Amino acid sequence: MTRITRRSFTLMAGAATGAALAMPNLAFGATARIAVVGGGFGGATAARYLKRLDNRLSVTLIEPNAKFVTCPYSNLVLGGLKTMDDISHGYDGLAKAGVRVIRASVQGIDPSAKRLSLSSGNAVQYDKLVLSPGIDMNFGALPGYDAATAEKLPHAWKAGPQTLLLKRQLEAMPDGGTFIMVAPDNPYRCPPGPYERASMIAHYLKTRKPKSKILILDAKESFSKQGLFQEGWAAVYGKMIEWLPGKAGGKVTEVDAKGMSVKTEFGNQKGAVINVIPPQRAGEIARAAGFAEANGWCAVDFNTFQSKADANVYIVGDATIAGQMPKSGFSANSQAKVAAIAIIEGLNGRTPASPAFANTCYSLVAPKYGISVANVYRVTAQGLVATEGGVSPTAQPPAFRSQEATFADGWYESITQEMFGQA
């Protein structure tokens, strides 16, 4: 894999977006109706770009929540660095950009009639559909963990009330208690997310409850940005965070909510607070409509993100299996732009050019201590693979890590502004 500098990466990622913006004003007769399901990273981006690329399109976004609470930076809420308000975004900007925003959830998709039925009782007709419903927890895949248990042992893997529940539990935890995190096997939403969470919780505990411990019980043998995280944990938190890989007793086989413990192949572990991040699958609506494979995820054509199950449907974001691209907000945003271009090109009878995708994931180990992974992905004979990029270097001075934390803030600000801003 070619290593790229941050500057060359930024130019490439910018070029991908620039190509979309530089497209000529497209001319086709009838105004196509595009429905977008889900107002998160994939859906909000797709709606915004479809309208931006050709504002004669009739673009309808359907989302049940008045505000989207981002998972990115929700770990910082747990660490006390951000508030829920800081990570909540309304849809006025999209409405101002000409997107028709309907507050409802889609309860059914009739692919042959190209019709959505909504929780409001209304229906929406479409010519093309973009689906970005994100993930659902695969309750039942981990014995003892279901939707009711999640009210006692939160996953907080969808930001919102679950984030607040976990935060309140941390606040109530006695000094000297053990915080257990159960981390899932791949694939799952945000590969570095559990380890950023452990870092932010360590920051909170170090400053408020320094006798406490964090135990990560992991189904995997290794994890994203592992060297960078472990270097940071040792430097900032000493021995506060212990990570157990699957083969060393990390694989959790059962959850006992009543006993506040989890069972591993090496015995039981008791926690004062237990954060279970369970196995996941594509959001319910994508599965119910028949767009998911037996593995629970949706297959797409990587050149367009068109569903392999229905040529009128484009699926982006976490609900898909996108080759080597991780399930991240940045990936969803990049895929949504490619899908928007593919839809417009398709409506005009043209084949879109082969795309390049970008993803950068920043994580905070501590305030002013950032780490990152950045890659460009292309469609090759091997599928959708990372062709350039890698993780940021270890053994750097504090100024370097502080700069990465500043880049993280810049990333969050720019991507949320791009999706939800008034521009």
Residue with tokens 């999640």: 150
Nearer to ligand FAD, 356 or 419 (CB): 419
Q: Does the footprint of ligand FAD cover residue 314 (CB under 6 A)? A: no
The backbone torsions φ and ψ at residue 213, rounded to the nearest 5 degrees and listed phi first, read -130, 155
Judge contact between 81 and 169, C-beta under 8 A.
no
Judge contact between 92 and 103, C-beta under 8 A.
no
Q: Does the footprint of ligand FAD cover residue 114 (CB under 6 A)? A: no
Give min distance, CB of 186 to ligand FAD, in A: 14
Closest to 338 in 3D by CA, of 366, 300, 309: 300
Q: Encoding tokens for residue 62?
A: 């359907």
- Strand runs labelled E in 111-165: 115-118, 123-125, 128-131, 135-137
Give min distance, CB of 130 to ligand FAD, in A: 10
Q: Which of the ranges 28-36, 66-74, 340-348, 381-389 carries the binding residues for ligand FAD, by CB under 6 A?
A: 66-74
Residue selected from 49, 72, 203, 214 as contacting ligand FAD according to rule CB under 6 A: 72
Residue selected from 41, 237, 297, 377 as contacting ligand FAD according to rule CB under 6 A: 41
Q: Does the footprint of ligand FAD cover residue 279 (CB under 6 A)? A: no
Q: Does the footprint of ligand FAD cover residue 111 (CB under 6 A)? A: no
Q: Does the footprint of ligand FAD cover residue 117 (CB under 6 A)? A: no
- Within 8-37, the residues that bind ligand FAD by CB under 6 A are 37
Judge contact between 136 and 188, C-beta under 8 A.
no
Residue selected from 193, 245, 246, 355 as contacting ligand FAD according to rule CB under 6 A: 193
Which distant-in-sequence residues (6+ apart) come within 8 Å of 138 by Cβ? 278, 279, 280, 281, 296
d(CA 339, CA 352): 10
Give min distance, CB of 382 to ligand FAD, in A: 23
Q: Does the footprint of ligand FAD cover residue 285 (CB under 6 A)? A: yes
Give min distance, CB of 75 to ligand FAD, in A: 5
Q: Does the footprint of ligand FAD cover residue 63 (CB under 6 A)? A: yes
Q: Does the footprint of ligand FAD cover residue 390 (CB under 6 A)? A: no
Residue selected from 232, 283, 355, 370 as contacting ligand FAD according to rule CB under 6 A: 283
Residue selected from 52, 128, 251, 327 as contacting ligand FAD according to rule CB under 6 A: 327
Per-residue contact flags (x/-) with ligand FAD for residues 138 to 177, judged by CB under 6 A: -------------------x--------------------
Residue selected from 34, 47, 99, 190 as contacting ligand FAD according to rule CB under 6 A: 190
Cis bond upstream, residue 154 (ω within 30): no
Q: Encoding tokens for residue 51?
A: 């309208």
DSSP string, 308-336: SS-TTEEE-GGGB--TT--B-HHHHHHHH
DSSP 8-state assignment for residue 41: H
Q: Does the footprint of ligand FAD cover residue 38 (CB under 6 A)? A: yes
d(CA 205, CA 227): 22
Residue selected from 133, 191, 245, 271 as contacting ligand FAD according to rule CB under 6 A: 133
d(CA 265, CA 261): 13
d(CA 337, CA 130): 11
Binding site for ligand FAD (CB under 6 A): 37-43, 62-65, 68, 71-72, 74-75, 105-106, 132-134, 157, 189-190, 193, 197, 283, 285, 317-319, 327-330, 332, 361-362
